[in-house]
Amino acid sequence: MKNDRFDFEEEFHARDKKQFRKERKRLTEGDRSKFKKTDQTKKDTVIDDTLPRGQVVSITGEGIWVEHENNRVLCALRGGLKKEKLLVKNLVAVGDFVRLDLETSSIVQIEPRFSTLARTEIRGQREQLIAVNIDQVVIVAPLVEPPLKPALIDRYLIAAAKGNIRPIIVLNKTDLLDENPTETALYHEFLAAYEPLGFPILSVSTTTHAGIDALRSLLQGKTTVFAGQSGVGKSSLLNAAFGLSLKTGELAQKTYKGTHTTTTAELITLPGGGHVVDTPGTRSFTLWNLTREDVVAHFRDLGVWAKECRFPDCGHVAEPGCAVLKALKEGKLPLMRYESYCSLLEEAAGGADNRTRRKMSEE
Ligand code: GDP
Ligand code: ZN
């Protein structure tokens, strides 16, 4: 009996390992080609510092809008650069720092980028840049209406890490906590689970203005992108912090559908300095390639325990000798973190049913 079980485990893991290796090979190959596509055009470029400098604020049907010394100039790509365009979906992106020939209104050089926010094109394998040279991403998550979804926050945290963008978690609608004890409990559970991870977390409300001054100073002088599902309060927060008049609620969704100027992202200049990337809807941030490696790298708090699992390739689902499940049972690992890990892993694997796994972890 004992032997049978042992053989089964061996076989299970041998198969798993093979699958994992195959998957890893596929992923690293994919990653390499992606890297090449983004960077090959920039490698040998020597930037001419004597040329006027500007920043791409939006790309529309009319052309590329570049901000140069507080003016907006409608530009086109110079011929030489256009050839390179064949290699990438979008050679120039919102947020790019460019060198200009003002006489012909053309972009002659594109400076190397320090960060990118990308998604995979819906059809095909090319990478599509949403915006570049972003300092930070504000992940807006409401505490109530709709309730907090930690897995969604982790998803954005992974996206930020991949794009080399500093994440800030903003928990919104704190004004609604008083009347909602369940959500309040969830809020405290979230703080206990996520504060030790070291990410900046700010609790705010556009209704009471709590935390809005702190948010404003975090955004001042920086280029920030807001992430979060529709209706979480992104526009309301910007309006509250900077006196802007971005449309909110249902009205905002209607206008976005009808607009043709903001089919891609747009840089909004903030009063007092800094920019915010405005994007039509938020679907842009949910369409990117999540890999098993991304998930494992992000959940470092699980990794601490994983080192002690009996099998080095333990998936922490139902394997014998799993130290992660043991830590969970003993209350050393927050259930919220484990659940988020499971749901993201499921997504990375392409949506396998993990209800059974959850059940097991709760036993
Ligand atoms: P966006 O789609 O992320 O830009 O979200 P909106 O800014 O349009 O806000 C969606 C809805 O949430 C609107 O009806 C806002 O009035 C509401 N809302 C935004 N912030 C708060 C808040 O702090 N408290 C409450 N109670 N409602 C908020
Ligand atoms: Zn394990």
Q: Which residues constitute the domain of residue 233?
A: 132-278
Are both 311 and 262 inside the same structural domain? no
pTM of the model: 0.77
Tell me if 237 sits within 8 A of 140, measured CB to CB. yes
For residue 318, tell me if it sits in a domain.
Answer: yes
Q: Using only C-alpha atoms, what is the Rg of the chain?
A: 23
Are both 174 and 272 inside the same structural domain? yes
Q: Is the CB of 212 under 6 A from ligand 1?
A: no
Q: Is the CB of 173 under 6 A from ligand 1?
A: yes
Provide the pLDDT for residue 44: 56
In whole angstroms, give the CA distance from residue 338 to residue 183.
19
| Closest ligand relative to 310 C-alpha | 2
Asked if the peptide bond before residue 146 counts as cis, ω within 30 degrees of 0, the response is yes
Per-residue b or e along 5-41, where b marks 16 or more CB atoms closer than 10 Å to that residue's CB: eeeeeeeebeeeeeeeeeeeeebeeeeeebeeebeeb
| Number of domains into which the chain is organized | 3
Provide the pLDDT for residue 105: 95
Of ligand 1's listed atoms, the one at least distance from the Cα of 247 is 8
Q: Is the CB of 207 under 6 A from ligand 1?
A: yes
Of the three residues 278, 305, 340, the one that is the final residue of a domain is 278
CA angle 293, 295, 297 (to 5 degrees): 65
Provide the pLDDT for residue 6: 35
In whole angstroms, give the CA distance from residue 171 to residue 123.
34
Are both 94 and 194 inside the same structural domain? no
Are both 168 and 141 inside the same structural domain? yes
Are both 273 and 210 inside the same structural domain? yes
Choosing from 173, 177, 236 the residue with most ligand 1 atoms within 8 A of its CB, the one to mutate for a pocket test is 236
**Long-range contact list for 304-310, CB < 8 A, 24+ apart?**
305/332, 305/333
In whole angstroms, give the CA distance from residue 151 to residue 274.
30
For residue 256, tell me if it sits in a domain.
Answer: yes
What DSSP line would sit under 61-109, residue for residue? TTEEEEEETTEEEEEEE-HHHHHHHTTSS-SS-TT-EEEEETTTTEEEE
Are both 97 and 231 inside the same structural domain? no
Of the three residues 79, 112, 145, the one that is the final residue of a domain is 112
In whole angstroms, give the CA distance from residue 2 to residue 179.
55
Are both 147 and 260 inside the same structural domain? yes
CATH code at 61? Answer: 2.40.50.140
For residue 13, tell me if it sits in a domain.
Answer: no
Q: Is the CB of 282 under 6 A from ligand 1?
A: no
Tell me if 92 sits within 8 A of 64, measured CB to CB. yes
Are both 93 and 203 inside the same structural domain? no
Of the three residues 230, 252, 278, the one that is the final residue of a domain is 278
The residue whose C-alpha atom lies closest to atom 20 belonging to ligand 1 is: 233
Q: Is the CB of 172 under 6 A from ligand 1?
A: yes
Distance 162 CA to ligand 1 centre (A): 28
Are both 155 and 273 inside the same structural domain? yes
Distance 358 CA to ligand 2 centre (A): 14
* Count of all residues that appear for the chain in the document: 363
In whole angstroms, give the CA distance from residue 95 to residue 54.
10
Provide the pLDDT for residue 284: 38
Provide the pLDDT for residue 212: 98
Q: Is the CB of 253 under 6 A from ligand 1?
A: no
For residue 23, tell me if it sits in a domain.
Answer: no
Rounded to 5 degrees, what are φ and ψ at 191? Answer: -60, -45
The tens-digit pLDDT sequence of the chain (363 residues) is 334 333 333 443 444 555 545 544 544 444 434 333 344 344 556 889 999 999 999 998 889 999 999 899 999 998 777 655 555 556 899 999 999 999 999 999 999 999 887 765 555 566 677 789 999 999 999 999 888 999 989 988 998 888 889 999 999 999 999 999 999 999 999 999 999 999 999 999 999 999 999 999 999 999 998 888 778 888 899 999 999 888 777 555 544 444 433 456 789 899 998 999 877 654 334 435 688 889 999 999 999 999 999 999 898 988 999 999 999 999 999 999 999 999 998 888 875 333 333 333 333
Are both 239 and 153 inside the same structural domain? yes
For residue 25, tell me if it sits in a domain.
Answer: no
Tokens standing for residue 197: 């991870």
Distance 350 CA to ligand 2 centre (A): 21
For residue 8, tell me if it sits in a domain.
Answer: no
Are both 247 and 328 inside the same structural domain? no
| Closest ligand relative to 227 C-alpha | 1
Tokens standing for residue 193: 């689970």
Question: What is the SS3 assignment for 138-172?
Answer: EEEEECCCCCCCHHHHHHHHHHHHHCCCEEEEEEE
User: 73, 65, 67: which is closest to 55 by C-alpha?
Assistant: 67
Provide the pLDDT for residue 19: 54
Are both 146 and 270 inside the same structural domain? yes
Q: Is the CB of 233 under 6 A from ligand 1?
A: yes
For residue 102, tell me if it sits in a domain.
Answer: yes
Q: Is the CB of 235 under 6 A from ligand 1?
A: yes
Outline where the chain has alpha helix (H). Answer: 2-39, 79-85, 150-162, 181-194, 212-219, 234-242, 249-258, 292-298, 300-306, 323-329, 335-348, 355-362
For residue 46, tell me if it sits in a domain.
Answer: no
CATH code at 236? Answer: 3.40.50.300
Q: Is the CB of 232 under 6 A from ligand 1?
A: yes
CATH code at 315? Answer: 1.10.40.50
Provide the pLDDT for residue 107: 95
Provide the pLDDT for residue 278: 78
